[in-house]
């Protein structure tokens, strides 16, 4: 099974709440709204701040805010900030080193386009299109279409 970690899923939920309110929100308020435990919210906000997706504000009215409008932050950026490069297999990763069977591998040619399709779909999906908090109208902008050629 291929899937994101629970932490990455929680990060997207937290960012979707920030996108919805478009203002500075405390970690405690994010935890309350999203139902993600406060220690997890705090940890993720720190990691997302280090990745440049969130800005931390100190003081009485402190908290976290998005560094850019939600339509300009892709889900791919969130996934990459927490999981690393998006790829179906290690050999499809941009930073992959050749493995011992690469000269004889029959599957790499199949997985490369699939990995690129997933990357493209996640790059085309902005935070503003996540879940019931979508800021636009209609269906989400990104759709995954995989086309393979013989």
Phi, psi of 55 (to 5 degrees): -115, 135
Q: Distance between CA atoms of 150 and 148, rounded to whole angstroms?
A: 7
pLDDT at 145: 44
pLDDT at 134: 53
Which residues contact residue 62 at a Cβ distance below 8 angstroms, ignoring those fewer than 6 apart?
A: 24, 26, 56
Per-residue pLDDT of the chain (150 residues; tens, 9 = 90+): 468 899 999 999 999 999 988 789 999 999 999 999 999 999 999 999 999 999 999 988 889 999 999 999 999 999 999 998 888 877 777 676 777 787 788 887 788 888 889 999 999 999 999 876 455 544 444 444 444 444
pLDDT at 32: 95
Phi, psi of 13 (to 5 degrees): -60, -45
9-12: long-range contacts, CB 8 A cutoff, minimum separation 24: 10/34, 10/36, 10/40, 10/41, 10/44, 11/44, 11/47, 11/48, 11/78, 11/81, 11/82, 12/75, 12/78, 12/127, 12/130
Q: Which two tokens stand for residue 46?
A: 């720190």
pLDDT at 105: 80
Q: Distance between CA atoms of 67 and 63, rounded to whole angstroms?
A: 13
Closest alpha carbon to 120 in 145, 137, 93, 138: 145
E strand or H helix that includes residue 57: strand 54-57
Domains defined for the chain, CATH in brackets: 6-133 (1.10.10.10)
How many C-beta atoms lie closer than 10 Å to residue 76's C-beta? 20
């Amino acid at each position: 099974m291929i899937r994101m970690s629970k932490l990455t899923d929680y990060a997207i939920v937290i960012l979707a709440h920030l996108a919805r309110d478009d203002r500075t929100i405390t970690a405690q308020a994010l935890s309350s709204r999203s139902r993600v435990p406060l220690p997890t919210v705090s940890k993720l906000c720190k990691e997302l701040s280090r990745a440049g997706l969130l800005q931390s504000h100190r003081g009485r009215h402190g908290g976290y805010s998005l560094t850019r409008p939600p339509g300009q932050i892709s889900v791919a950026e969130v996934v990459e900030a927490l999981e690393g490069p998006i790829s179906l297999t290690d050999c499809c990763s941009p930073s992959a080193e050749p493995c011992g069977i690469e000269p004889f591998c029959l599957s790499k040619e199949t997985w490369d386009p699939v990995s690129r399709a997933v990357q493209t779909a996640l790059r085309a999906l902005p935070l503003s299109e996540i879940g019931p908090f979508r800021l636009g109208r209609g269906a989400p902008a990104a759709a995954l279409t995989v086309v393979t050629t013989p």
